[in-house]
Amino acid sequence: MKSEDRRYIWQVKAWPRWAYDRQRLAPLLAQVHRAQGHLLGRMHDLGLDLRDQATLRVLTEDVLKTSEIEGEKLDPVSVRSSIARRLGVDIGALAPTDRQVDGVVDMVLDATQRHHEILTAERLFGWHAALFPTGYSSLTKIRVGQWRDDAHGPMQVVSGPLHRQKVHYEAPPAHQLEAEMLDFLNWFNGDQHDDPVIKAGLAHLWFVTIHPFDDGNGRIARAVGDMALARAERSTQRYYSLSAQIQRERNDYYDRLEAAQKGEMDVSGWLAWFLGCLLRAVQGAEETLAQVLAKARFWQHWAGIPMNDRQIKLLNKLLDGFDGKLTSSKWAAIGKCSQDTALRDITELLERGVLERSAASGRSTRYELASVGNQV
């Protein structure tokens, strides 16, 4: 193929022999390793229960954000319950879940909790089937648990209105997929000289460049990347969410992917961005750690105060980051009780100093954790 006819990286003669500037990436890679070591050290000093709570919080965010990147909103309570049920973490009463939530959870947990097991085509097919339990993506029937066949034309990543779509990328044709995925899986499961963190960045880019499925490629690519990171850290417990950081930098993420997929085999630019994004994710995990510790200290402080199950449930919701402001009406709805019972619950906690009225209350009184609870 003449160079002027080539548009995408998989059409380069050297594909898929990746290249990158080790000297350029070395300082950033060292920063990532230091940040990972610092975070893992801090988490190791916590008890097992707190580590489990941190992992639950991070995995919940990971599942929510990897779906949100694709424009799909999942219910946070259902996601948290699904993960807690599978990990055996006690969070009290578990909310009902659905097949859509459970499918994403199953994929993320399989990738991270069983990271040491070989990645195969059949395993990827299982992940894909879990993401699309009905066999449909929105209203479109897709090939589930098998590579795409391009029956309706080449696989393209597009944006814009239906009749004026911009093509950002076109993946390798379907007849190449068996060979492409065999190369990828042999590389992923083999021992290379690449740093394991670099390997995670390459795996993410390589998989999403092949784009082997009709849909779900981005979510599966991020799961493959998380699997590589779990292997690098030799840990099933996750204390940071790369997907959450990618969601925060979503536009840049797509721009960097497109640039790499239209470039040459030297992907130093993509890897520099990936390492920077990963570093920001690890550094941002300090907030997760602070929230877990604050919750533990809160319950230590109020351990001697009698509370009913509804009060414990609602306080935990506040500690886990309640969406919006807490009112007596919301208390009644979440606690599945009458308005009178909700007011009685709240009044008891106000009198004991656990809750206080919010200074920003409008027409309806709002409540928040008392400052003494946040200072323990």
Using CB atoms within 10 Å of the CB of residue 205, give its burial: 0 to 12 exposed, 13 to 18 middle, 19+ buried. Answer: buried
Residue 331 and residue 258 share a domain: no
In angstroms, rounded to a whole number, what is the distance separating the alpha carbons of residues 364 and 376? 29
**pLDDT at residue 167 is higher than 70:** yes
Interior angle at CA 343, CA 341 and CA 346, nearest 5: 110
The model carries a pTM of 0.83
**pLDDT at residue 374 is higher than 60:** no
Residue 281 and residue 153 share a domain: yes
Give, for 25, the enclosing helix (H) or strand (E).
Answer: helix 22-44
**pLDDT at residue 183 is higher than 60:** yes
Lookup: tokens for 216? 């779900």
In angstroms, rounded to a whole number, what is the distance separating the alpha carbons of residues 282 and 58? 11
Residue 319 and residue 275 share a domain: no
Q: What's the total number of domains in the chain?
A: 2
pLDDT tens digit sequence for 219-259: 999 999 999 999 999 999 889 999 999 999 999 999 999 99
Residue 235 and residue 105 share a domain: yes
**pLDDT at residue 345 is higher than 90:** yes
Q: Band the pLDDT of 324: cuts 50, 70, 90.
A: confident
Boundaries of domain holding 160: 3-293
In a domain, 300, yes or no: no
Residue 212 and residue 361 share a domain: no
> Of 49 and 73, which is predicted with more confidence?
73
Residue 346 and residue 222 share a domain: no
> Of 226 and 320, which is predicted with more confidence?
226
In a domain, 298, yes or no: no
Report, as an integer, the average pLDDT of 114-133. 97
In a domain, 299, yes or no: no
How far apart, in Å, are the Cα atoms of 23 and each of 20, 29, 67, 195, 259? 9, 10, 35, 13, 21
Q: Band the pLDDT of 295: cuts 50, 70, 90.
A: confident
Domain CATH number, residue 343: 1.10.10.10
pLDDT tens digit sequence for 148-157: 999 999 999 9
DSSP 3-state of 213: coil
In a domain, 19, yes or no: yes
Residue 325 and residue 230 share a domain: no
